Structure 1
Amino acid sequence: MKIKAILLSVSVLLSSCGHPTGVMTPVAVASSTAKTSHVDMLVATTRQPSGSPATLFSGERSPKPFITDISVSIPAKREPGTVQWPKRLPPDPRTDFAVTRVQQVQTIADGRAWFRRHVVAGHALVFVHGFNNTYEDSVFRLAQIVHDSGMRATPVLFTWPSRAQLTAYEYDKESTNYSRTSLEQTLRVLADDKDVREITVLAHSMGTWLAMEALRQMGIRNGHVTSKVKNVILASPDIDIQVFAKQFAEMGKPAPKFTIFVSQDDRALAVSSLITGRVARLGGIDPTSEPYRSRLEEAGITAIDLTKVNTNDRLNHGKFAESPEIVKLIGTRLINGQTLTDNNITLGDGVAAVVGGTVQTVGKVAGGAVAAPLQIAKKTAVTDPEDVKQTLDTDPQANPLGH
């Protein structure tokens, strides 16, 4: 009953985040609209077509995947870390994020031809969104991440069938399971492309479960994950820590380089923990404390603790994308496999990067270690459900587990 009470207390949020829906119809950008940036992406989805050019795809499941070439225009005047949704339709490219091109891709050969035209340093970034996302939510979020991070990589979005409703948590979770083979196939197609030298997987929230399941499935099938998947970045991973341990082990060796973003004040993961029987989530651990720090060292996983990072996200679940410093860290270092242990990192005081066995001060980032998931124990702080309920009752703008 307590779970139902919490979900009912946030039912007002089911109308999304207060922005217009149906923004996928392309708009023209006048040549006089100077300084507008564009992000071109390839979008693979297991969603059912909606039948409307305004939305393209729904939250229902499709028996076959679809691929779409999409371009998003980003206005010059905006705060880094934000998505400027239009206040009315159609979007105005001078002030809003706006879709400027939509083209269905019919064959794998056409997809490879698209990649050849858009290839950046032979590097593909595959982004997997989280729970409570529409198709357009995920498109605009990836465009924001790519633009703000300054990354040198070709963006590929994998969007799975989320109904974008708080009460559809179980449906969304099953949709990730439904989609894992399609994500694995997407990664295989990219790895088989001679124009792709390396792949980074960036997944958020419930999408981290999907990413781990696809990589585990690939590892079981081949004995290990394809060597072109160099880096896996899990942001606010909504995964049972013991299940993550098994997934990591079963994907085989050699494994990609893993980085996880965690935050002990992530209220969305606290709700998830409550829904799943008070099981600790990977994204809520304190990586500088035992048993995590010492027992995780052997796996070589880097954890970056964002607990003290402040953003406008009231539930502290989207810090990886909304903090300008963190999103730049992703774009300029992590997707290129660069070290975090030098003096050029300035994320701010109190941000802990657990990287290698001992805790040390590195620039303004504290360094330490995370690894050996098989030894992850039961210790993690979970926000009290009554505190979560109070937050949701008093803050109608909070969006748990969502964007």
Structure 2
Amino acid sequence: MRSRWRIALVLSLSVAVAACGGKKGFMAPIAETAPVPGTSTVDMLVATTRVPSGDPNTLFSGERSARPFLTEIAVSIPPDKNRKPGSVQWPKKLPPNPETDFAVTRVQQLPSVESGEAWFRAHNRNGHVMVFVHGFNNRYEDAVFRFAQIVHDSDAQVTPILFTWPSRARVFDYNYDKESTNYSRTGLERLLRAIEAEKGVTDITILAHSMGTWLAMESLRQMAIRDGGKLGPKIQNVVLASPDIDIDVFARQWSDMGERKPNFTIFVSQDDRALALSRFISGDVKRLGQINPSDEPYRDQFEKAGITVVDLTKVQTGDRLNHGKFAESPQIVQLIGERLVNGQTLTDSDVSLGDGITAIVAGTAGGIGRIAATTVATPVDLLTMTPAQERLGSSVDRGSMFDQPEKPPVAQ
């Protein structure tokens, strides 16, 4: 009976995950016409480790490329009166209607990742750069349109750069997608180094979602190891939304980054159904994006590490999986754009997250007032438990999740 229940759970979640995949075939630029009143345009640079599809409607497939590609893309956003913040208006037919649909207005291939200098200088927004890394089950156009929505709705004054890795956008290709993130670690590192080397860049914010958080953490870890245990000062903010990372692995990635780390903000939700499925197929190990930051030892250890965790469990959006709240909640998207991009921490005195949103703010767990969740009375070291121990309620003392490694790591 238990086996049948698990099979039913996987099938039901698989249908839901499959349903969250985007549309297909809207990357071909629309013909130039007179601008539609009220529309706005998001210009972005897109780096990818995908193979070109040979089809202008899709541009890139979900297969892996031996070399990265760089593309300049402009996306038209419908007037605010015709769309709800947090949503992507997928075209119902071709060509898209800019008055009601997201539409691509320009596509220009560039010769190499390092060749984006001219584009950057033309689109530089006061030196602030945001790099977005999407999650599992995303086509190329899914990532492009979602990032355009985030940039527009957050009103973030940044130069937007998307890194899209080879996802086959099929629910049963979870392992292929996961290996694609490993395959793309050096590609993302190369992009980040190219951005850092640009003189006009003052700071970089990395926004990663779901499985893309694994890729972001691995690339940052790899960069720090190559550079003798430190990250460059321009990488100032890392935002992990619904991170699909084994919590023990995150602890090791964090430690391997060395002493100077960017500001970290993590968005979690205990009702995330996609992460529930990921936990099921990953050895029943808790995912970072599912934790309750009010519980010990999480609360104490995140505070000591200087990591801000925002709990979105009570936030309601139209996402049936509760996996994309960071992008679909207008409050959260605006929070990213207005504060986190600029490295401003969350404090009770100057940030109101609204009803239903709680935060554990780094360094202030003793009294963060109205935006704080309550701490459970009985600390249980879930970070060091095996699944069997977790069910029995026992623990093994293996130290803090953020302990530094005994020996310097070796790059992999």
When the two structures are superposed, what TM-score results if normalisation uses the length of structure 1? 0.88
2:343 corresponds, among 337, 340, 359, to: 337
2:246 paired with 1:217: no
Match of 1:118 in 2: 123
Indicate the structure whose relative CO is greater, using CA pairs within 8 Å and at least 6 residues apart.
1
Separation in 2 of the partners of 1:261 and 1:379?
24
Cα distance change, pair 246–11 in 1 and its aligned pair in 2 (3 A): closer
Cα distance change, pair 19–212 in 1 and its aligned pair in 2 (3 A): closer
Letter in 2 for 1:36: T
Q: Which runs of 5+ in 2 are unaligned?
A: 376-380, 392-412
The structural deviation recorded for 1:225 is 1.2
Separation in 2 of the partners of 1:352 and 1:17?
26
Provide the secondary structure at the position in 1 that maps to 2:100: coil
2:67 paired with 1:64: yes
Match of 1:30 in 2: 33
2:197 paired with 1:188: no
Letter in 2 for 1:39: V
Separation in 2 of the partners of 1:187 and 1:19?
27
Q: Which runs of 5+ in 1 are unaligned?
A: 385-403
Provide the secondary structure at the position in 2 that maps to 1:132: coil
Separation in 2 of the partners of 1:245 and 1:14?
27
Q: Deviations over 1:324-366 (max 9, x none)?
A: 000000000011111211444232223221112425355x522
2:23·2:142 contact (CA, 8 Å) conserved in 1? no
2:365 paired with 1:358: yes
Match of 1:311 in 2: 317
1:101 corresponds, among 103, 106, 118, to: 106
Q: Deviations over 1:59-88 (max 9, x none)?
A: 000000000000000001210000000111
2:84 paired with 1:83: no
Separation in 1 of the partners of 2:365 and 2:115?
48
Letter in 1 for 2:203: E
Match of 1:390 in 2: none
Identity %: 61
1:20·1:89 contact (CA, 8 Å) conserved in 2? no
- Give the length in aligned residue pairs: 376
The structural deviation recorded for 1:251 is 1.1
Separation in 1 of the partners of 2:188 and 2:114?
18
1:359·1:368 contact (CA, 8 Å) conserved in 2? no
Separation in 2 of the partners of 1:367 and 1:13?
30
The structural deviation recorded for 1:18 is 8.0
Match of 1:259 in 2: 265
Instruction: Point out the structure with max Rg over C-alpha.
Output: 2
Q: Deviations over 1:349-399 (max 9, x none)?
A: 23221112425355x522799xxxx9943499xxx9xxxxxxxxxxxxxxx
The structural deviation recorded for 1:10 is 5.5
After superposition, the CA RMSD in angstroms is 2.3
Matches within 5 A, 1:2-401: 5-9=8-12, 17=20, 20-76=23-79, 77-108=82-113, 110-222=115-227, 223-355=229-361, 356-362=363-369, 365-366=371-372, 376-378=383-385
Separation in 1 of the partners of 2:289 and 2:276?
10
1:20·1:87 contact (CA, 8 Å) conserved in 2? no
Provide the secondary structure at the position in 1 that maps to 2:137: coil
When the two structures are superposed, what TM-score results if normalisation uses the length of structure 2? 0.86
Provide the secondary structure at the position in 2 that maps to 1:42: strand
Separation in 1 of the partners of 2:18 and 2:355?
37
2:268·2:289 contact (CA, 8 Å) conserved in 1? yes
